[in-house]
Structure 1
Amino acid sequence: MLSFYDGFFLNLCVLIAALFVYKELVKKSSFEIQTVSTAIISGLLGGLLAAVLMRFNIATSTNSIIDLRIIPFMLVILYGNWLSTSITATLIILIRFMMGVSTYAFYNIIFILASWVIFCFCFKKIKNRWVSIIVMLTLSNIVYTVLNIILSEGKGLNILLISTYWIICILGGLIAVYMMDYLNETELIFKRNNKYAFTDPLTGLNNVRSFDLAFNKAKSKLEKSNESISIMILDIDHFKQVNDTYGHLEGDLVLKKLAAILKMSQDPKDIISRNGGEEFSVLLNDCDHKEAYEKADALRKVVENSFFAVKNGTITIHVTISIGITTYNDTTIEIDQLYNHADQALYAAKKSGRNKVCSYSQVIDPVSN
């Protein structure tokens, strides 16, 4: 049995360490959506944490002991669901009876069930989060105090014991909730940054970094096979006019619609990326030059005949795209020049009138093409 200060410090360390362990175990799942497996894990860990806190109980100067079993139970209610809460409550009750069958054990059932009702009610009814936490713990402590009065059988209330429990319970609960919120926020930021490190946030397509990774992977694959690899780079014609006329937010809608068209019109094995601004690229694996040209021209026609809604759908506009293409071991011999050659072909398509597909072969030999 630990002294008050040692016990309280150890309990806080156990709480914080347990929260980190929990986040590691469920880090691949969204904390906003509880699956059955994560709910079971949450419930089991909540009950296990309560058992550990009961084991490392805190001594008071009145030769009595107290523990923070109610804190993990509150956390499971706040961040879990009915299944995880039920598992934790059941485990706390069972573990308490394993420690000994007594009047105190039966009063523990009343305490847990009453706290369950209080926590759920406050969580749903009180909008301010921190006010809700304080009210939860205060009402739960009132139940604890009433039960102690009943158990004292008229011998008088142990004021020092009750006040000590109130202090460590409220303080421990606030620290635990703060840590859990901090871990959730950190996880959310990490997942968002990890996603946007490889994904364009506007269109959901691959970004430049993802394109580079895919291109390097394709290069490595070419060393072991004789497959062709083509690339098309496309650009929206006169996109600046769209932004100047309707605004950049409406221009973003046009970019999103074009991204959706690209996703629908290309094969699953093709790597579609937004390389910046209104420029997109498609890496065509195992695709010869003739097939790449046909795909590019088909895409150009689809975009030309599509409607792009702006101003909340009150206005529809048409846009066109210019596309430059090249193919490794056909129009481009050096693999590292593939993107550069496709970009030169795109420039030629724009220079020759836009809404066209231009091959790099037309850039290096314009007379014969």
Structure 2
Amino acid sequence: MLSFYDGFFLNLCVMITSLFVYKELVKKSSFAMQTVSTAIIKGLFGGLLAAVLMRFSIKTGTNSMIDLRIIPFMLVVLYENWLSSLLTAALIIFVRFMMGVSIYSFVNVIFVLVSWVIFYYCFKRIENRWVSIVVMLTFSNIVYTVLNVIFTLGKSFNLFLIVTYWIICILGGVIAVYMMDYLNETEIIFKRNNKYAFTDPLTGLNNVRSFELAFNKAKSRLEKENESISIMIVDVDHFKQVNDTYGHLEGDVVLKKLAAILKMSQGPNDIISRNGGEEFSVLLKDCSHEEAYEKADALRKIVENSFFVIKNGTTSIHVTISIGITTYNDTTIEINQLYDHADQALYAAKKSGRNKVCSYSQVVDPVSN
């Protein structure tokens, strides 16, 4: 048994460490998916944490001990589903009986089950979350106090024990919920940053980093297999005028609509990316130069004939695009020059009047093309 301060500090350390380990396991595994099996695992984890806290009971300075078993139980109710919380309750009851069968074992059954009802009622009915948490802990403590009075018949009622339990339970509960919220928020930020490391936040397309990874992977495959790969670079014509006339927010609307057209018009194996600004790229795997040219021209026509609705639906505008394309093992022999050659073809398309598709072969030999 530990002294009061040592025991309380140890219990907090155990809870915080366990919550951190739990969130790391959830973040790096399939536990984030809510299924029956994951609900069972999460419920068992909550019960295991409660059992550990029961093992490291806090000495109150009298012949009595208290623990924070109810806090993991409350956390499971708050953050998981009814099945997980029911399993946590069952495990708490089971562990208490394993520690010894006495009248207090049966008191624990009543305490846990009544607390479960209180927790779920507060969770469902009280909208303000922190008010709900305080009410949960308060009524759970009232149940603990009433049971203590009833089953001791008031003869060995220990006011110091009750007051101490109320203080550490509410304080420990608030700290545990705050820590859980902090870990959840950190996980959300981690996932968002991880997503935006490979995804363009405006359009939802791949970003430059994601494109480079896919391109390097494709190059490695081409070294082993004799396949063709094409790339098209797409740029919105006179996009600066759109921004200057309607504002950058409306320009973003145009870019998102163009991204949607790109996703709709390209195949499932094509890798579509936003390279920055108004420039996009499409990596066409196992695609001949003729097929790439046909796809590019079809895309150009779709955009040319589309309405781009801006200003909250009050204005429609037309935009056009210029596209440069090239194909490895056809118009481009060196795989590392593929992107540069497509970029040169795009420049030629813009220089020759825009709203055009230009192949790198037209850059190399403009007379014959």
Query: Which bin holds the TM-score, normalised by the shorter protein?
Result: over 0.9
* Distance in 1 (alpha carbons) for counterparts of 2:312 and 2:109: 57
Matches within 5 A, 1:64-103: 64-103=64-103
Structure-1 residue corresponding to 2:319: 319
Question: Per-residue deviation at 1:112?
Answer: 1.4
Structure-1 residue corresponding to 2:234: 234
State the AA in 1 paired with 2:116: W
In the alignment, structure 1 segments of 5+ residues that lack a partner are: none
Structure-1 residue corresponding to 2:154: 154
Q: TM-score, normalised by structure 1?
A: 0.94
Structure-2 residue corresponding to 1:331: 331
Question: Per-residue deviation at 1:149?
Answer: 1.2
State the AA in 2 paired with 1:275: N
Shift of the 29–241 alpha-carbon distance from structure 1 to 2, 3 Å rule, reads farther
Moved more, 252-261 or 208-217: 252-261
**Residue 14 of structure 2 corresponds to residue 22 of structure 1:** no
Q: 3-state SS of the aligned residue for 1:8?
A: helix
* Distance in 1 (alpha carbons) for counterparts of 2:29 and 2:316: 40
Matches within 5 A, 1:108-119: 108-119=108-119
Structure-2 residue corresponding to 1:265: 265
**Residue 352 of structure 2 corresponds to residue 352 of structure 1:** yes
Structure-2 residue corresponding to 1:180: 180
Structure-2 residue corresponding to 1:223: 223
* Distance in 2 (alpha carbons) for counterparts of 1:31 and 1:316: 46
Structure-1 residue corresponding to 2:59: 59
Structure-1 residue corresponding to 2:189: 189
* Distance in 1 (alpha carbons) for counterparts of 2:285 and 2:136: 59
Native 8 Å contact 2:25 2:31 kept in 1: no
State the AA in 1 paired with 2:41: I
Moved more, 82-91 or 149-158: 149-158
Q: 3-state SS of the aligned residue for 1:199?
A: coil
Native 8 Å contact 1:26 1:38 kept in 2: no
Residue by residue, what CA displacement relative to the aligned partner does 1:285-319 show, whole Å, maximum 9, x if unpaired?
22221121111111111211222222233333222
**Residue 214 of structure 2 corresponds to residue 214 of structure 1:** yes
* Distance in 1 (alpha carbons) for counterparts of 2:197 and 2:21: 26
Percent sequence identity over aligned pairs: 83
Structure-2 residue corresponding to 1:12: 12
Residue by residue, what CA displacement relative to the aligned partner does 1:212-238 show, whole Å, maximum 9, x if unpaired?
111111221121122122110011112
Question: Per-residue deviation at 1:244?
Answer: 2.7
Structure-2 residue corresponding to 1:39: 39
Question: Per-residue deviation at 1:33?
Answer: 6.9
Q: 3-state SS of the aligned residue for 1:26?
A: helix
Native 8 Å contact 1:31 1:184 kept in 2: no
What is the count of residue pairs matched by the alignment? Answer: 369
Q: 3-state SS of the aligned residue for 1:181?
A: helix
* Distance in 2 (alpha carbons) for counterparts of 1:264 and 1:312: 23
Q: TM-score, normalised by structure 2?
A: 0.94
* Distance in 1 (alpha carbons) for counterparts of 2:282 and 2:275: 10
State the AA in 1 paired with 2:48: L
Moved more, 83-92 or 202-211: 83-92
* Distance in 1 (alpha carbons) for counterparts of 2:240 and 2:30: 39
Native 8 Å contact 1:274 1:281 kept in 2: yes
RMSD: 1.9
Question: Per-residue deviation at 1:78?
Answer: 0.9
Q: 3-state SS of the aligned residue for 1:231?
A: strand
Moved more, 243-252 or 9-18: 243-252
Moved more, 142-151 or 191-200: 142-151
